[in-house]
Amino acid sequence: MSTVESIKVDIWVVLGRAQLQMQQLLRMGRGAVIELDSTQHDEVWVLANNTPIARAEIVIQGDKIAVSITDTLKSTQ
C-alpha cells in the first residue's frame, strides 16, 4: 500500500438541514426531534474532509444505515 493510500479521510453524509432559533436549540433535550428539509428518498451529499465528493442514496442493511453512491463529483483541482 502506498503512502497516499494509507491516509485516513473523514467521511460525512449530510442527510438534510434545518434552521432553528437559538431559543429552540437551547430547550432541546434527549429525545428531541429535528425536522430536516429532506425526505427519505432524497439523495444525500457525501463529503470527504469537508469537501463534497459524491451524491448517494440511503440504504438500510440490517440494523445499520449505509449509503450507495449514485454520482461522483469531478475534482476542481
pLDDT in tens, 6-55: 999 999 999 999 999 999 999 999 999 999 998 888 999 999 999 999 99
pLDDT in tens, 43-57: 999 999 999 999 999
Mean pLDDT of 66-72: 95
Domain locations along the chain: 8-72
Mean pLDDT of 56-73: 93
DSSP string spanning the chain? --TGGG----EEEE-------HHHHHH--TT-----S--TTS-EEEEETTEEEEEEEEEEETTEEEEEEEEEPPP--
**CATH fold for the domain made of 8-72:** Surface presentation of antigens (SPOA) (2.30.330)
